[in-house]
Structure 1
Amino acid sequence: MNQKKKYDYLIVGAGLFGAVFAYRANKAGKKCLIIDKRSHIGGNVYCENINGINVHKYGAHIFHTSNKIVWDFVNSIVDFNRYTNSPIAIYKDQLYNLPFNMNTFYAMWHTKTPESTLAVLESQRKDALDALEGRTPDNLEEQAMALVGKDIYEILIKGYTEKQWGRPCNELPAFIIKRLPVRFTFDNNYFSDKYQGIPVGGYNVLVERLLSGIETKLNCNFFDNRLELEQIAEKIVYTGPIDEYFNFAFGRLEYRTVSFEMEELSCPNYQGNAVVNYTDIEIPYTRIIEHKHFEMFGDDVYSVKSTVISKEFSTEWSPGMEPYYPINDERNTRLFAKYKSMASDNDNVIFGGRLADYRYYDMDVVIWNALNAKI
Structure 2
Amino acid sequence: MRLPSLANIYRLGLKELKSLWADKTLLVLICWAFSGAIYTAATGVSQELHNAPLAVVDEDRSPLSQRLVDAFYPPFFRPPERIELAAMDPGLDAGRYNFALVIPANFQRDLRAGKVSDLQLNIDATIMSQAFIGATYIKRITLGEINEYLTGTRDESAGPVRLVTRVRFNPNLKGFWFGGVMEAINNVTMLTIILVGAAFIREREHGTIEHLLVMPLTPFEIMLAKIWANGLAVLLGVAFALAVMVERVLQVPIAGSLPLFLAAAACYLFAAASIGIFLGTLARSMPQFGLLVILSIIPLLMLSGGISPRESMPQAVQDLMLAAPTTYFVRLAQGILYRGAGLEIVWRDLAAMTAIGAVFFAIALVRFRDAVTRNQG
Q: Is the pair's TM-score, using the shorter chain for normalization, greater than 0.5?
A: no
Structure-1-length-normalised TM-score: 0.25
Structure-2-length-normalised TM-score: 0.25
Which is richer in strand? 1
